[in-house]
Amino acid sequence: MKHLNSKSTQLFLGILFCSSIPFWANDQYQIHIATLIGIYWVLVSGLNLVVGFTGQLSIGHVGLLSIGSYAFAILAGKLGFDPYLSMLVSGCLGGFCGLMLGLPSLRLPGFYFAMATMAFSLIVNELVLAQGDLTGGGIGLAGPLFPAPFESPIGFYYFVLAIATLFTWASLNIVRSMWGRALISIRDSEVAAQAMGVPIFRAKLIVFVFSGFAAGISGALFASLQSYITPDTFVFELSLFFFVCIIIGGKGSILGPFLGTVVLTALPELAAPLAKLGNLFYGILLLIVVLVIPEGIGRLADMFIQKIRPRLVKTEPMKPDLSRLAQTLVTYSDTKRGQK
Amino acid sequence: MSTTPSSNVWELRANEVSKKFGGLTAVDNVSLSLKAGEVHGLIGPNGSGKTTMLNLLCGFYAPSSGQILMNAQDLTNSTIQDRAFLGLGRTFQKPRLLPTLSVLDNSMLGAWTQTQSGFLASAMSLPYVNKEEQALAELSKEILHGVGLGMVLNRPANLLDHGQQRFLEIARALVMKPKFLLLDEPAGGLTGNEISLLKDLIKVIQASGIGVLLVEHHTDFVFRICDRVTTFNVGKMIKHGTPSEVRTDAEVIRVYLGA
Amino acid sequence: MLNVFVAGLAIGMVFAAVALMYNVMYSTSKVLSVTTGHLSMLGGVFGAYAISVLHLHWTIGLLAAVLVGAAFGWITELLGVRRILAKSDEHLWLLSTLALATIVQQLIGLWWGTEPKPFPRLIAQDFNAGLLDQKFWLPIGITLLMAVGLELFYKRTMYGKVFMAMSEDPFAARARGISTDQIRQMSYLLSGALGGLAGFAAGQLTFAYFALGLTLTLNGFIALAVGGLGSNIGALIGGIALGLLNAFVSHWFGGEYQQTMAVGLLLTVLLVKPEGLLGSRKLRPV
């Protein structure tokens, strides 16, 4: 984990850059895309903790996005409640559904878990279509705007930027903490995690619920941006899209999946013919990354840098400082033990 | 042997423990104990049940019969994680480290049982979380310098050589502030010099009051540093005693040490 | 009522066929491939293409279906499994087979279209044949044949025994000189061929539809998990249970809750017996 200051500086510069976008963007459409990237990133930042750091292959988060979107559209749109409150409720509902999904499925082995999450996203769509009175069925619902100053495209962009920044900051904090190490231990060596006292199921569940909350918030913002949502929007392929953003960005990274989200969202928009072939493209991209650079494109950059400036790894012999060790160990008997 | 006040009374024991896997009896009615501040070695041929015994003590297997106790507390049904919180640390036959993280981060994982920081508190980077993180980092650095890894604190663990990886695992277990340290073939693959360093480390660990259990094949190493030695064969304990008693025992020689 | 039962049995048998395919591939590679359902989808699509579009005889259509299925099975092993198994990360095959499944689904969607197209009659029969309609009996018959065939294959033929040896203990198998790579390839080819056959037989029931792959992958997996991984009889039981549940729930409550009910069944069984009805418990590794 890098030194505290450099990551915070990077984040600050990144936010500065993102804040400047509305000033040099060419048209409304580009602002729309930038906002969409921000909204997707809110979800992906949460999902990244689940997939990239804890190693749980969840391919059903579009279901949680859908729940967040519909909850917002119903509460703020149909029922006219305060949009900010509705957004929070959408987030909490996303978190709650994450809990309901995670409880039975997180104990299952990898493929079983992935299938369970996929089935979840299909079930959500099924229920949305079935409960037509509530959700408008196949016709869909309108997604209301937020009140001023966020009702304009630029205003809404800054609102989304603020929320995306919050989630990025939260992710960075988790990753740099004991929780970050615990999650990575679950991903890379469950046996070591257990031996160190990490509560595997509980940790997976907590992260999963957090990702559900992020997805719920993202859903609310999504409904508002798109101004109209239908079940067709929330197809399984969108889950695949989020997933690919993380995989190509590389596990164990926050910047990687962020760049992945930016590139994959912007690409179909910039290259029009790609739009129809979007899903095919994601499939091919996923296959290439998995076969050639499974650590993600972030790792590719590392390998490149290694070629240019190879870091010499010196094997120095170990020289234990026994008195220092003895001194540290002696202080053990007095300190308290935490309970998790 | 130890001079630390409160650890004299700690004892980890196995009472008539057996472990069956289907038709195979891996451990057959074994009783042994590990006292605070002592070094206890488990030796025996491959497949004799030594590693299974270690796994039973740590909670990776549940015994088919018998009990595992720490002092008066029955651990038999406790999870691996519970035992970590109670002060059982261990290393593995093949080092299980987190390859993408630095040496420092790997060792800090051992501090999990001491963290009070919740998930949300960590997400919000609350002041007490940061303070705790700093304190645990300081502790880990001290231990890392102590075992001799102070010059590679920021190196990713997958770039360490084998000996360094083994020592990192020991450091990680020490960060846990364990009462007992269970080492699974810690000398495996180490150079002669490294084995000598390991011996010094174990002596210091023992002196601080931690009870050390070793499963090992390097019998010279075992006889030199252990206070007590238990020999396994085909799941049973065939001899238990001081190193000199065990190394001269006829059956141990026949079964394991050779003529 | 009997209508519902037969319809449920038929679709259940399609799911069972996919579960059987999972077993065949799993036995030699310990991999559960996301492409399993897609192998059947290809059988249905190419069968329909050969007969309805190219106006070939149904036997040629059947051959086409089997060959395309086998080919995609081979591709799955080549791209999705072989190189992945060499690497240490065990979840990579989930991603690679997911990628392959997506690719094939999108390609078929672009070529064949995204609407489900009817599959032609194979034997002359009135469309009002009711319970005796071949669209029910073809999948039921073929799946039963597949199950019996696999049983004979494993017990009576040399290759079948080699498959079983590999699934029990791949290291020992290799030590005895068995080329585990080749056997694995064969098993994927076999599974693909069976998939093509099953998809072809089920075509009149499921229609030739590009998105069928994912549905079959999921439902076939549910049948597998309910019946127990590794058990062919379990695959049949799981498939039938799922198919009947599907049909009766649709009949009583409308078809809107099919997926929900299916997963409900899966979760119920997994909570009570995590290894499935006829599955075996595995030891924990340390």
The set of chains that have 3 or more CB pairs under 8 A with A is B, C
B21–C284 CB contact, under 8 Å: no
B21 to chain C: which residues are within 8 Å by CB?
A: 283
Tell me the residue range of the domain where B77 lies: 10-99+172-257
| Dist CA A28 CA A30 (whole Å) | 6
Q: Which helix (H) or strand (E) holds A142?
A: strand A141-142
Nearest of A1, A339, A52, A50 to residue A197 by alpha carbon? A339
Residue type at B124 in one-letter notation: M
DSSP 8-state symbol, C130: G
* C75: contact with A, CB 8 A cutoff: no
Query: What pLDDT was estimated at residue B4?
Result: 41
Query: Tell me: the pLDDT tens digits for B94-146?
Result: 999 999 999 999 999 999 999 989 999 999 999 999 999 999 999 999 999 99
Q: Which residue of C79, C103, C222 to mutate against A (max A Cβ within 10 Å)? A: C103
Q: Where are the beta strands (DSSP E) in B22-108?
A: 24-35, 39-43, 65-70, 73-74, 88-90
Q: What is the pLDDT of residue A62?
A: 96
Helix (H, G, I), strand (E, B) or coil at B39: strand
How far is C77 from B251, CA to CA, in rounded Å? 53
Question: What is the 8-class DSSP label of residue A335?
Answer: S
User: Could you tell me the pTM of the whole model?
Assistant: 0.91
Question: What is the rounded CA–CA span in Å between residue A282 and residue C160?
Answer: 38
N- to C-terminal Cα separation, chain B: 34
Q: For each of chain C's 286 residues, which pLDDT tens digit applies?
A: 888 899 999 999 999 999 999 999 998 888 899 999 999 999 999 999 988 888 888 888 899 999 999 999 999 999 888 888 777 666 788 889 999 999 999 999 989 988 888 888 877 777 776 777 778 888 999 999 999 999 898 888 888 888 888 878 877 877 877 788 888 899 999 999 999 999 999 988 889 899 999 999 999 999 999 998 888 999 999 999 999 998 888 888 877 787 788 888 888 887 777 777 887 655 333 3
Q: Nearest CA to CA, how far is C259 from chain A (Å)?
A: 6
| Maximum Cα–Cα distance across chain A | 74
The pLDDT value recorded for residue B87 is 93
Contact yes or no for B124 and A170 at CB 8 A: yes
Closest to A118 (Cα-Cα) out of C227, C218, C80, C264: C218
- Residue B6 in tokens: 């409160």
| A28 CB neighbour count, 10 Å cutoff | 11
Backbone angles phi, psi at C171, to 5 degrees: -65, -45
CB C84 within 8 A of CB C105: no
Please answer yes or no on whether B55 and C286 come within 8 Å at the CB atom: yes
Residue A339 lies in a domain: no
Q: Is residue B190 part of a domain?
A: yes
DSSP B138-150: HHHHHHHHHHT-G
**Residue whose token pair is 């001269």:** B248
Indicate the residue of C89, C96, C102 with minimum beta-carbon distance to A291. C96
Residue with tokens 């679709």: C11
Residues of chain A predicted below pLDDT 50: 1-4, 334-340
**B142, part of any domain:** no
Alpha carbons C55 and C67: distance in angstroms, whole number: 18
Determine, for residues A181 and B109 on separate chains, whether the beta-carbon distance falls below 8 Å.
yes
Distance, first Cα to last Cα, chain A: 23
Total domains, chain A: 1
Taking only residues 20 to 39 of chain B, the set having a beta carbon closer than 8 angstroms to any beta carbon of chain A reads: none
To the nearest 10°, report the CA torsion of A237, A238, A240, A243.
180
DSSP state of B102: B
Write out C142-211 in H/E/C secondary structure: HHHHHHHHHHHHHHHCHHHHHHHHHHHCHHHHHHCCCCHHHHHHHHHHHHHHHHHHHHHHHHHHHCECCC
- 3 state SS for C27-93: HHHCCCCCCHHHHHHHHHHHHHHHHHHCCCCHHHHHHHHHHHHHHHHHHHHHHHHHHHHHCCCCCHH
Single out the residue of A76, A73, A52, A47 nearest to residue A62, CA to CA.
A47
Ordered domains of chain C (ranges, CATH): 2-272 (1.10.3470)
Q: Which amino acid is at C157?
A: T
Backbone φ and ψ for C184, nearest 5 degrees, come out as -65, -45
Percent of residues in chain A assigned helix, strand, coil, to nearest 5: 75, 0, 25
CB neighbour class for A133 (10 Å; exposed up to 12, middle 13-18, buried from 19): exposed
Residue A78 corresponds to which amino acid?
Answer: K
Query: Smallest Cβ distance to A129: which of C95, C214, C256?
Result: C256
Alpha carbon distances (Å) from C203 to B115, C189, C190, C199, C238? 59, 21, 20, 6, 21
Q: Is C116 helix (H, G, I), strand (E, B) or coil?
A: coil
Of A119, A120, A280, the CB nearest to C106: A280
Is A337–B84 a contact, with Cβ atoms under 8 angstroms apart?
no
Q: What is the DSSP string of B180-232?
A: EEEEESTTTT--HHHHHHHHHHHHHHHHTT-EEEEE-S-HHHHHHH-SEEEEE
Q: Which residue reads 């070529």 in tokens?
A: C111
Looking up residue A255, the CATH number of its domain turns out to be: 1.10.3470
Q: Which residue, A61, A63, A31, A69, is CA-closest to A45?
A: A61
Please tell me if residue C32 touches chain A, with a CB cutoff of 8 Å. Answer: yes
Q: Chain B residues with CB inside 8 Å of C283's CB? A: 21
Q: Which two tokens stand for residue A161?
A: 């930027």
pLDDT of residue A53: 94
The answer to whether A138 touches A230, Cβ cutoff 8 Å, is: yes
Chain A residue with CA closest to C101: the answer is A283
Cβ-contact C180, C166 below 8 angstroms: yes
Position A189: which residue type?
S
A240 touches chain C (CB under 8 A): yes
Check which CATH number belongs to the domain holding B222 and give it. 3.40.50.300
Closest Cβ opposite residue B123 in set A173, A194, A316: A173
Is residue A37 one of the residues assigned to a domain?
yes
Q: At what angle do helices A28-48 and A255-270 cross, to 10 degrees?
A: 140
Q: Is A235 near chain C, with CB under 8 Å?
A: no
Contact criterion met (CB below 8 Å) for B104 and B137: yes
Residue B126 CA to residue A166 CA, distance in Å, equals: 14
H/E stretch holding A141: strand A141-142
Of A126, A97, A112, A62, which Cα lies nearest the Cα of C258?
A126
Return the SS3 of A340: coil
Q: Which chains touch B (3 or more CB pairs under 8 A)?
A: A, C
Is the CB of residue A224 less than 8 Å from the CB of residue A72?
yes
Residue B212: strand pairing partners: B39, B181
C-proximal residues of B, 71-100, CB under 8 Å: none
Q: Closest Cα of chain C to B31: distance in Å?
A: 22
Gap between the Cα atoms of B20 and B70, Å rounded:
23
Write out the residues of chain C at the interface with chain B, using a CB-CB cutoff of 8 A.
283-284, 286
Chain A CB contacts of B94 below 8 Å: none
A155 touches chain C (CB under 8 A): no
C211: nearest Cα among C114, C73, C139, C98? C114
Say if CB A167 and CB A45 are below 8 A apart.
yes
Q: What angle do CA C22, C24, C26 make, to 5 degrees?
A: 65
Q: How many whole angstroms from its chain centre is CA C99?
A: 18
Question: Which of C88, C282, C286 is most worth mutating to test chain B (most B CB atoms within 10 A of its CB)?
Answer: C286
Q: Does B57 touch chain A (CB under 8 A)?
A: no
- Confirm whether B121 is domain-assigned: no
Measured between CB atoms, does A6 come within 8 Å of chain B? no
Count of structural domains within chain B: 1
Residue from the list C79, C92, C259 with its beta carbon closest to the beta carbon of A123: C259
Find chain B residues with C-beta within 8 A of A254's C-beta. Answer: none
* Stretch 97-156 of chain B: residues touching chain A, C-beta under 8 Å: 97-102, 105, 108-117, 119, 122-125, 129, 133, 136, 139, 142-143, 145-152, 155
Cross-chain residue pair A283–C106, CB shorter than 8 Å: yes
Cβ pair A96, A211 in contact under 8 A: no
Tell whether A340 is covered by a domain. no
Residue A310 pLDDT: 67
Instruction: Nearest chain C residue to B59 by CA: give it.
Output: C286
Give residue A58's domain range.
Answer: 4-334
Domain presence at residue B192: yes
DSSP A6-68: HHHHHHHHHHHHHHHHHHH--SHHHHHHHHHHHHHHHHHHHHHIIIIIT------HHHHHHHH
C211/A contact by beta carbon, under 8 A: no
Q: Do B21 and C283 touch (CB under 8 A)?
A: yes
Over residues B41-97, the pLDDT tens digits come to: 999 988 888 999 999 999 999 999 999 999 889 999 999 999 999 999 999 999 999
Is B115 among the domain residues? no
Q: Flag whether B20 is in a domain.
A: yes
Q: Which A residues 301-330 touch B at CB under 8 Å?
A: 313, 315-322, 324-330
Is A17 touching C (CB cutoff 8 A)? no
Query: Sign of the CA dihedral B216, B220, B222, B223?
Result: positive
- Hey, are the CB atoms on A283 and C102 less than 8 Å from each other? yes
- Are the C-beta atoms of residues C186 and C74 closer than 8 Å to each other? no
